[in-house]
Amino acid sequence: MNQPHTSPAAFQATAAIDPGAVAVRDIGGGNALTWGEYATQVREVAAGLAALGVGRGDTVAFMMANRVDFYPLEVGAQHTGATSFSVYNTLSAEQLHYVFANAGNKVVICEAQYVDKIRACGIAMETIVCVDTPVPGALTVAQLKALGRPDFDFDATWRAIAPEDIVTLCYTSGTTGNPKGVEISHANLEFECRAYASVMPVEFGDRITSFLPTAHMADRVTNLYLHQYFGTQITVVPDRTQLPAALADVHPTIWGAVPRVWEKLKAAVEYSVAAETDPARRAALDWALGLAARKAEAQLAGVALDEIQAAEWDKADAAVLRPLRAKLGLDQLKWALSGAAPIPAETLGFFYGLGIPISEVWGISELTCIVSVSPPGQARLGTVGKLLPGLQSRIGEDGEYFVRGPLVMREYRKEPAKTADALDTDGWLATGDIITEDTDGYLRVVDRKKELIINSGGKNMSPANIENTVKAATGLIGALATIGDNRPYNTALIVLDAESAPPYAAQHGLTDASAPALAADKNVIAEIARGVAVGNAKLSRIEQIKRFIILPVFWEPGGDEITLTMKLRRKPIAEKYAADIDRMYAPELAPDVHEPDTGTATGTH
């Protein structure tokens, strides 16, 4: 049998493997689709969209939470030959105007709550389809399906799709200016899915959860497209607060998350141990986590446990750690990954000690998604694995990493000048990342080229490395922006974590968990000062944070300070908080400017 080369062809082959198996479900499985039911709905959706005039080369937009019915609608749109893409639900009407004008879509499939915003964006839509509540002037999904004509040739339509056709658009959450629409072809995705699975095995029936927005390329690849190519079972998580319940329900076999989610899982484990009231249970947890910490330290140091320590860890694993993994729902993992941003080595070490090795991946939307990874048994902490097979790379004189091969995007949609800046005539894509490669081919991401700090003494530093090192020392920090470009020393703007604030306040008897109240609380300041000092101890003197301010606000994804994918908007931050930054460099220490806890040892290297 010929191997499928487009996403619809892959879906058709996968859906035929076991039509009675569950393909997509919600938490608890009350709402579920078998592959057979799914395939029928895909055919109905494609027929309805075709009746609206949607066909090869057209675009269809989606705007909704993670839900079961997204999948037959999305895959149905693919079968018409259309380019289907999702937008972030938090986009404003003005932002939607830019994206829809660039994409050229005349159809949006959405939840009712977004209809007014879509209509206010200034781009006239020929058709809006609502997936939940009926809205005047919009179609329901049932009405869309009813439009399908008996003479629609479903099979001929999807078979006519070529590997070079554009399957999706990914709008990069640029840290400055409007996002760029990355055009990804069916050929890009086929190579991505097969190359990734050759390193990190994926099989029919593997279980995974979809909790990142479907506009995030990491969700589209690890959930939607791997699902179409290999038949994974997806459990949708519409609200990230439901993720712990979803993991306990699903017990995924393959799973990945952004660093912040891994950090929150780590904090949840630590919090549950601290809150344990049964003395025997608490003693067992402390013993097991002590051994886990020893294993983590060994891994971070690049050495193995000795025989006695390994035997002790095995005992702790059988008695405590294995049940702990089961309680988390992470006891049946074949592999786990972290990507989209650097993750602190301490977080990787923590989960390794628990018996959950995490493979860190690297990738960018312009290279479809995942570009480098190594399986857990071969992963090296602090690296993002090796380049996927079939790709070429080179490193420029300034350290920038270039990649050539089947993952390279077609272009930035309607942006020929920006495409030419990123992609040369020989097919090399400039990634914008400073990356080193060791003799074994393992890659280490230093930072974004344009974000490196050069202090007044001419020293180059990675702000991301500084920020991750400090954030790893305390779960209270939600975001940290290192300041130091053309400055004599580094300072930091620190923002508390919005999700950690309420439990922290409750645990410490504070009635006000607002950002202003916590930023001014002496115990919070002391904990942050301790964390900065602990982080500083792992940094060179020139990298250390000398002063910091705790801002009396929470930074929301998609706001002025961070993108929807949790990347810092460094230039807008520097402009917005210029007065705060200047105060940190004033000769006299202002009342709201703090220094690391001098009682905690700092590094000397």
pLDDT tier at 601, thresholds 50, 70, 90 = very low
Residues 6+ away with beta carbon under 8 Å from 498: 478, 515, 554, 556
Crossing angle for the helix pair 279-301 and 345-354, nearest 10 degrees?
120
- In angstroms, the Cα distances linking 48 to 40, 54, 149, 152, 325 are 13, 9, 8, 9, 45
pLDDT tier at 268, thresholds 50, 70, 90 = confident
**25 Cα distance to chain centroid:** 21
What average pLDDT score do residues 322-339 get?
94
Q: Mind listing the domains of the chain with CATH numbers?
A: 7-250 (3.40.50.980), 260-449 (3.40.50.12780), 452-584 (3.30.300.30)
pLDDT tier at 602, thresholds 50, 70, 90 = very low
User: Distance between the two ends of the chain, CA-based, in angstroms?
Assistant: 60
pLDDT of residue 392 exceeding 80? yes
550-559 pLDDT, tens digit per residue, is 999 999 887 8
Quote the pLDDT of residue 465: 82
The answer to whether 546 and 603 are in contact (CB under 8 A) is no
Tokens 């004033």 sit on residue: 586
pLDDT of residue 175 exceeding 70? no
The answer to whether 56 and 161 are in contact (CB under 8 A) is yes
Beta bridge partners of 363: 370
pLDDT of residue 230 exceeding 90? yes
**Lowest-confidence region among 227-231, 336-340, 544-548:** 336-340
**Collapsed DSSP state (helix, strand, coil) of residue 601:** coil
CA 446, 451, 456: angle at the middle one, nearest 5?
Answer: 100
Q: How far apart are CA 318 and CA 133, in angstroms?
A: 49
pLDDT of residue 86 exceeding 90? yes
pLDDT of residue 228 exceeding 90? yes
Quote the pLDDT of residue 3: 87
424-461 pLDDT, tens digit per residue, is 999 999 998 889 999 999 998 887 777 778 887 777 78
The answer to whether 155 and 83 are in contact (CB under 8 A) is no
Instruction: Copy the structure tokens of residue 282.
Output: 């608490």
**87 Cα distance to chain centroid:** 15
108-138 pLDDT, tens digit per residue, is 999 999 999 999 999 999 999 999 999 999 9
> Which helix (DSSP H) or strand (DSSP E) does residue 68 occupy?
none
Instruction: Copy the structure tokens of residue 27.
Output: 């938490």
Quote the pLDDT of residue 445: 87
- In angstroms, the Cα distances linking 16 to 5, 20, 222 are 16, 9, 21
The radius of gyration computed from the CA coordinates of the chain, to the nearest angstrom, equals 25
Instruction: Return the beta strands (E) in 7-150 as ranges.
Output: 22-26, 32-34, 59-63, 83-86, 107-110, 127-130, 139-140
Widest CA span of the chain, in angstroms? 80
pLDDT of residue 37 exceeding 60? yes
Quote the pLDDT of residue 604: 37
Strand order in 443-448's β-sheet?
A: 392-395, 400-404, 429-437, 443-448
Strand order in 83-86's β-sheet?
A: 83-86, 59-63, 107-110, 127-130, 139-140
The answer to whether 38 and 15 are in contact (CB under 8 A) is yes
Quote the pLDDT of residue 173: 64
What average pLDDT score do residues 101-111 get?
97
**Lowest-confidence region among 54-68, 481-495, 587-601:** 587-601
**186 Cα distance to chain centroid:** 22
459-478 pLDDT, tens digit per residue, is 778 888 899 889 888 888 99
Share of the chain above pLDDT 90, in %: 70
pLDDT of residue 605 exceeding 50? no
